[in-house]
Amino acid sequence: MKSVIFFYLMNNKRDKIQSAAPLHSDYWKEKNLVDYKGGPFSDFSGGCITFACESFESARDLVNEDPFVVSNCLEKYWLKEWVSNIN
Protein backbone atom coordinates (compact mmCIF):
# COMPACT_ATOMS: atom_id res chain seq x y z
CA MET A 1 0.00 0.00 0.00
CA LYS A 2 1.13 3.51 -0.77
CA SER A 3 0.39 6.46 1.48
CA VAL A 4 -0.69 9.55 -0.41
CA ILE A 5 -1.58 13.15 0.35
CA PHE A 6 -4.14 15.15 -1.59
CA PHE A 7 -3.52 18.83 -0.76
CA TYR A 8 -5.80 21.42 -2.35
CA LEU A 9 -6.56 25.13 -2.43
CA MET A 10 -10.04 26.45 -3.25
CA ASN A 11 -10.81 29.00 -5.94
CA ASN A 12 -13.20 31.91 -5.43
CA LYS A 13 -16.33 30.27 -6.90
CA ARG A 14 -18.28 30.27 -3.61
CA ASP A 15 -21.60 29.05 -5.03
CA LYS A 16 -19.96 26.05 -6.72
CA ILE A 17 -17.96 25.28 -3.57
CA GLN A 18 -21.02 25.40 -1.31
CA SER A 19 -22.89 23.06 -3.66
CA ALA A 20 -20.01 20.61 -4.01
CA ALA A 21 -18.82 20.56 -0.36
CA PRO A 22 -21.36 18.01 0.95
CA LEU A 23 -20.78 15.81 -2.12
CA HIS A 24 -17.01 16.03 -1.58
CA SER A 25 -17.34 15.04 2.07
CA ASP A 26 -19.69 12.13 1.31
CA TYR A 27 -17.51 10.96 -1.57
CA TRP A 28 -14.45 10.46 0.64
CA LYS A 29 -16.39 8.99 3.59
CA GLU A 30 -18.07 6.42 1.34
CA LYS A 31 -14.71 5.16 0.03
CA ASN A 32 -13.78 3.63 3.42
CA LEU A 33 -10.09 4.05 2.59
CA VAL A 34 -7.32 2.63 4.73
CA ASP A 35 -5.66 5.28 6.94
CA TYR A 36 -8.06 8.00 5.74
CA LYS A 37 -7.82 11.38 7.45
CA GLY A 38 -9.04 14.59 5.95
CA GLY A 39 -10.63 17.94 6.41
CA PRO A 40 -10.55 21.63 5.61
CA PHE A 41 -8.07 24.21 6.77
CA SER A 42 -9.42 26.41 9.58
CA ASP A 43 -9.84 29.35 7.17
CA PHE A 44 -11.58 27.11 4.58
CA SER A 45 -9.08 28.11 1.90
CA GLY A 46 -8.50 24.44 1.08
CA GLY A 47 -7.88 21.12 2.73
CA CYS A 48 -5.80 18.00 2.99
CA ILE A 49 -6.64 14.31 2.72
CA THR A 50 -4.32 11.42 3.46
CA PHE A 51 -5.04 7.78 2.72
CA ALA A 52 -3.48 4.48 1.68
CA CYS A 53 -4.03 3.05 -1.77
CA GLU A 54 -2.83 0.11 -3.85
CA SER A 55 -1.13 2.35 -6.39
CA PHE A 56 -0.49 5.99 -7.14
CA GLU A 57 -2.58 5.59 -10.29
CA SER A 58 -5.61 4.42 -8.30
CA ALA A 59 -5.12 7.39 -5.93
CA ARG A 60 -5.07 9.70 -8.96
CA ASP A 61 -8.30 8.14 -10.22
CA LEU A 62 -9.96 8.79 -6.85
CA VAL A 63 -8.85 12.43 -6.83
CA ASN A 64 -9.98 12.96 -10.42
CA GLU A 65 -13.51 11.85 -9.41
CA ASP A 66 -13.65 14.11 -6.33
CA PRO A 67 -16.66 16.46 -6.63
CA PHE A 68 -14.40 19.46 -5.95
CA VAL A 69 -12.23 18.48 -8.93
CA VAL A 70 -15.17 17.57 -11.17
CA SER A 71 -16.99 20.84 -10.30
CA ASN A 72 -13.86 22.91 -10.93
CA CYS A 73 -13.76 24.30 -7.37
CA LEU A 74 -10.00 24.12 -6.88
CA GLU A 75 -7.42 26.76 -7.69
CA LYS A 76 -4.59 24.23 -7.34
CA TYR A 77 -4.11 20.74 -6.02
CA TRP A 78 -1.32 18.27 -5.51
CA LEU A 79 -1.30 14.52 -5.09
CA LYS A 80 1.94 13.17 -3.66
CA GLU A 81 3.15 9.83 -2.40
CA TRP A 82 4.02 10.25 1.27
CA VAL A 83 6.61 8.41 3.31
CA SER A 84 5.49 8.60 6.91
CA ASN A 85 8.00 8.19 9.73
CA ILE A 86 5.24 7.18 12.13
CA ASN A 87 5.17 3.48 12.93
pLDDT at 85 over 80: no
- pTM for the structure as a whole: 0.91
Angle at 6 between CA 46 and CA 47, to 5 degrees: 20
pLDDT at 84: 74
Give the pLDDT band of residue 87 (cuts 50, 70, 90): low
pLDDT at 86 over 70: no
The H or E element spanning position 76 is strand 74-81
Radius of gyration of the chain (CA): 13
Domains and CATH numbers, the chain: 2-81 (3.30.70.1060)
54 contact partners, CB below 8 Å, separation of at least 6? 1, 2
pLDDT digits (tens, 9 = 90+) for 10-66: 999 999 999 999 999 999 999 999 999 999 999 999 999 999 999 999 999 999 999
pLDDT at 31: 96
